[in-house]
Amino acid sequence: MYIHREGNKTIAIATLIFGAINLAFFYFFSASLMWLCGLVFFATLAVLLFLVSFFRIPNRKLTINDNAIIAPADGKVVVIEETIDTEYFKDKRLQISIFMSPANVHVNRNPLSGEVVYNQYHKGKYLVAWHPKSSTDNERHSVVIKKGDKEVLVKQIAGALAKRIVNYLHVGQKVKQTEEFGFIKFGSRVDLLLPIGTQVNVSLNQAVQGGVTVIATL
């Protein structure tokens, strides 16, 4: 396991705050309120450990399969349905959505290899990530990866707690399946828009692992 680079600054700042708060409490209250110092120490330590855990990248054997769509994120499958895409395809698509809780690994990975043909950031609201309108109303970043005659839209969606979407891709870039393409900070969702008729390999409420679980077969 290692810590994702997006967490370096956040963890460094949190560590400084952790040290400052505890030094102050032990300096002023250790003689008379030692129990309070201990309480503050363990509470702030829990927050710091949560941040470290949030930015963790576990060691995994990633799945490479040219005929498959691999999960772009850790989380739970909350939507499998046909929908009308109004952003890029302008027609009916199969939508599969993965909800990422704050406890999940939050790195995002390319679900397939190919070329980036569309990349667009959208400002928006911060509805809870499982809200039906979060796909179209929330802050989000959409990317379309084309492989042969197939195109797949991957949409990073901010949630009620997520305040920053990071996306590393650009139009014309060649990408490889399971490589990192972005990161979302603190609770979020990733949508996949696939061609109608795509064979789905997951079910509602199933837990999936980014870069590992086969979502669908092309």
List the catalytic residues.
Answer: 188
Tally of CB atoms within 10 A around 206? 16
**In 3-state terms, what secondary structure has residue 123?**
coil
* Backbone angles phi and psi of 100, in degrees to 5: -110, 115
Q: Contact at 8 Å (CB) between 187 and 39?
A: no
Dihedral, CA atoms, 27, 30, 36, 41, nearest 10 degrees? Answer: 60
The Cα–Cα gap between 142 and 134 comes to 13
How far apart CA 139 and CA 61 sit, in angstroms, is 32
What are the angstrom distances between the C-alpha of 65 and each of 28, 146, 211?
59, 15, 11
Element (H, E) at 155: strand 150-158
Residue pair 50/185 in contact by the 8 Å Cβ criterion: no
